[in-house]
Amino acid sequence: MNIKNLFFFLCVALILSSYSAKADSSYYPRIYSLNGVWHFKIVHNGLEEIQSNEEKEVKVPSIWFFYGKLNHSGIAWFEKNFDFSPSPESHYLLCFKGVDYKAEVFLNNNYVGKHTGYFQKFCFDVTNYLSSGENTLGVKVDSPFEPLGENWSLRKTLIKGILNHHDMRPGGAWSPRGQDYNTGGIWNDVYIEEIGNYYIDNLLISPVKVGKEAVINISLDIISYSEFSEKTLNYRIVPHNFTSDFILEGKKKVTLKPGRNHVSFDIRIKNPKLWSTWDYGFPYLYKLILTLKEKDNLFYRKEETFGIRSFFVDDKGQWYLNGKRIFVRGTNYISSQWMSEMTNNKYIFDLELMKKANINAIRVHAHIEPQRFYKLADEYGMLIVQDFPLQWGYIDSPEFEKEAVRQAKDMVFQFYNHPSIVVWQLHNEPPWDAWWMKYKYKDYNPKQNIHLDNRLFQEVRSLDKTRYVKKASLDKEHFWAGWYFGDYKNEFQKKMESPLISEFGAQSLPNIYSLLKIIPAENIFPKNDKDWEVWEYHNFQKHETFNLAHISQGKDIEEFIENSQKYQYKLLKYAIEHLRLQRYNPVSAIFQFVFRECWPSINWGIVDFQQLPKLGYYAVKMAYQPILVVIDKGELVIINDSHRNFKNLSLTVRIGDKVHTYKIPKVKEDSLLRTSIKIDPEGRRVIINLKQGNKLISYNIYEKDDF
């Protein structure tokens, strides 16, 4: 083939492929991304003043902090020019997956609408505002500074949880600089969604009955731009993450009037594959595909993954997944102070580390992550306790209560279909349960926010019958022995007041390479108040470290790091072992605080901000093994969280140079077995191995100073 013929062949192929692409576009919606380069200006004196400020080209999605570590609270203007060719037969939605915190949207100088709340997806119908050719999209974003004393920090007005007020924020919880490095911006995707005369909204998939035959309720709204019509809604359910020949198809006749139409129907699935955590089974997921015919061969198509599982918490605080009791080995999680930096790969890295550390549950602590995190949690088989973004005190007013209820409903609807989410928890350490606030605030009111939280509880519980709804994360569930009070070896031997212990731990320094990315070299080994100010801005707690935990600073920074990490390691291992010794008497769920540092800081993370594990990570990994042998007052105890019986086990105990071997005939599922085997370490190291045949199924190590 000569060059001329080759060129002709390639041109024909290109034309045919373009026609083929159009022919394949038989489904709505069609997505047009508006991510990329935008224009950005800080607004100081109101929207009318934007022309007077310097403009820069920036990346969207992103938090504005990443525009040169910008420390701005208030209003900014974002603008995007784009070409478009709207079809007269289509309708168009302009969608934002996340704007922090308030947004006003303008398209071609037309006011489109506004939205409040940092975590929600929201859309506007812009069919009448789009032009053929160049279009200009403008977004006024306001992430305000809350006035010190007046609102912040006891009477906050922004529903942002730990992104607005927390120990792990830049500047800390109680410093006047605690609102530094605001999280504002267009932090998630922006796109135009092309639809025909119909689209599906508020699709909720509920496992109503779980057994040999599962009953799944499908609830949705169909928005119609057409006249009164009779339509057929087709559904198809197929496996999502497993191989099977299972396919379930059906259809439902629907009568549609102009506007919003609610549709609900049940689907029955025989012998369903149940979603479970990675350690109690497999996280089986299905895919629901809904299609609604528009005209000729053109369809509206909606896909959603879901899992079939049952979940409840009994009156003793014990957790049941798919009808069987489970012990929850959890961690608290804050991925980042600036959500836009969290990619799928970063989430996968964290989830892999969690799974390797035998963690089976995550408390998303006083904030909401982007949707992509929950999709991954579904696939990894992690239970999620999802907090609503209320952290400490908020203003008591009818207006704030109304806004909080609206946003709580948004949370439920947006994340409803994720089987990993099993608990909605509505307020972290509210004033009405925070006795310590009387020492922080002169005007502390012990009844503050109780009406707000009661209202939220009632609203969320009425919306979602498939999950456990919890009003607040309470003081009695936060057991900070060894850090804020007491000696951990004494305190963790005491019987807990609550079956749920949702916070415990200690701070530790990261390795020297990570620390040098946090603290300037001239302040790296603090010697004076100026050095300590730098450390405290990055959340280091000096009083707790030296006066309560009694960690020695040592002679140099390497020794300080070693002392700090060893303390966190020992506290976590001891705490977890002794909490697990109280399994179901009363303890049923524990959540170490916290998994990872959410910015370049010195905090409670067992993994630093660069996703590098500290020593504490390995303490959690060891102590969270589903099957664990511990020494309790000189006696060997075998804890089995699994739903598996073990027979003919071999237990080897090395004390210094001496090795002792014991036969364990049987360990029952979901049990705690006191073996009556006595151990006397005599100040030596102890290594314990539990085997079935040649397979090591559990290990534990005690250093001589652990006793």
Predicted confidence band at 26 (pLDDT cuts at 50, 70, 90)?
Answer: confident
Residue 316 burial (10 A CB sphere; 0-12, 13-18, 19+): exposed
Residue 377: per-residue pLDDT: 98
Looking at the structure, do residues 159 and 40 belong to the same domain, yes or no?
yes
- Which CATH number belongs to the domain containing residue 229 in this structure? 2.60.40.10
Confidence check: pLDDT of 452 > 70 = yes
- Dump pLDDT digits (tens) for 623-635: 999 999 999 999 9
Give the residue-averaged pLDDT of 449-475.
97
Q: Per the structure, how many domains does the chain have? A: 4
- Which CATH number belongs to the domain containing residue 57 in this structure? 2.60.120.260
Query: Which residues lie across from 267 on neighbouring strands?
Result: 216
Q: Are 338 and 65 in contact (CB under 8 A)?
A: yes
Q: Which of 593, 625, 657 represents a domain boundary (last residue)?
A: 625
- Dump pLDDT digits (tens) for 366-407: 999 999 999 999 999 999 999 999 999 999 999 999 999 999
- Dump pLDDT digits (tens) for 241-300: 999 999 999 999 999 999 999 999 999 999 999 999 999 999 999 999 999 988 777 889
Range of the domain at 202: 197-306
Predicted confidence band at 47 (pLDDT cuts at 50, 70, 90)?
Answer: low
Q: Which residues contact 270 (CB under 8 A, 6 or more apart)?
A: 212, 213
Residue 14: per-residue pLDDT: 37
Q: Is residue 65 domain-resident?
A: yes
Residue 511: per-residue pLDDT: 97
Looking at the structure, do residues 596 and 637 belong to the same domain, yes or no?
no
Place of tokens 């369809």: 299
Residue type, 456: L
Looking at the structure, do residues 495 and 617 belong to the same domain, yes or no?
yes
- Dump pLDDT digits (tens) for 72-118: 999 999 999 999 999 999 999 999 999 999 999 999 999 999 999 99
Q: Which of 260, 288, 306 represents a domain boundary (last residue)?
A: 306
Residue 294: per-residue pLDDT: 80
Confidence check: pLDDT of 17 > 70 = no
What DSSP element (H or E) covers 488?
helix 488-491
Looking at the structure, do residues 145 and 265 belong to the same domain, yes or no?
no
Residue type, 487: D
Which of 152, 537, 167 has its CA nearest to residue 366? 167
Q: Give me 374's structure tokens.
A: 């929950």
Confidence check: pLDDT of 15 > 70 = no
Residue 142: φ, ψ to 5°: -125, 115
C-alpha pair distances (Å), 128 with each of 87, 132, 199, 224 = 11, 11, 17, 16
Q: Are 189 and 33 in contact (CB under 8 A)?
A: yes
Predicted confidence band at 473 (pLDDT cuts at 50, 70, 90)?
Answer: very high
The pTM assigned to this predicted structure is 0.94
Predicted confidence band at 5 (pLDDT cuts at 50, 70, 90)?
Answer: very low
Q: Is residue 250 domain-resident?
A: yes
Looking at the structure, do residues 620 and 634 belong to the same domain, yes or no?
no
Give the residue-averaged pLDDT of 517-541.
97
- Dump pLDDT digits (tens) for 326-368: 999 999 999 999 999 999 999 999 999 999 999 999 999 999 9
Residue positions counted in the chain = 707
Beta-strand relationship, 589-592 and 500-501: parallel
Confidence check: pLDDT of 11 > 50 = no
Q: Is residue 525 domain-resident?
A: no
Q: Is residue 516 domain-resident?
A: no
Q: Is residue 245 domain-resident?
A: yes
Q: Are 39 and 55 in contact (CB under 8 A)?
A: yes
What DSSP element (H or E) covers 635?
strand 635-640
Looking at the structure, do residues 495 and 595 belong to the same domain, yes or no?
yes
Which of 282, 262, 123, 125 has its CA nearest to residue 203? 262
Q: Which of 176, 194, 212 represents a domain boundary (last residue)?
A: 194
Please work out, in degrees rounded to the nearest 5, the angle formed at the alpha carbon of residue 107 by the alpha carbons of 105 and 113.
35
Q: Is residue 547 domain-resident?
A: no
Q: Is residue 512 domain-resident?
A: no
Looking at the structure, do residues 247 and 268 belong to the same domain, yes or no?
yes
Tell me the C-alpha distance between 186 and 77, whole Å. Answer: 10
Tell me the C-alpha distance between 639 and 621, whole Å. Answer: 15
Residue 243: per-residue pLDDT: 95
Q: Is residue 684 domain-resident?
A: yes
- Find out whether the peptide bond into 58 is cis, omega within 30 degrees of 0: no
Confidence check: pLDDT of 55 > 90 = no
- Dump pLDDT digits (tens) for 576-615: 999 999 999 999 999 999 999 999 999 999 999 999 999 9
Give the residue-averaged pLDDT of 441-462.
97
Please work out, in degrees rounded to the nearest 5, the angle formed at the alpha carbon of residue 321 by the alpha carbons of 355 and 478.
65
Predicted confidence band at 43 (pLDDT cuts at 50, 70, 90)?
Answer: confident
* Mean pLDDT, rounded, of the chain: 94
Looking at the structure, do residues 111 and 212 belong to the same domain, yes or no?
no
Looking at the structure, do residues 440 and 461 belong to the same domain, yes or no?
yes
Which of 682, 676, 618 has its CA nearest to residue 656? 682
Q: Are 189 and 61 in contact (CB under 8 A)?
A: yes
Give the residue-averaged pLDDT of 315-322.
98
Looking at the structure, do residues 249 and 391 belong to the same domain, yes or no?
no
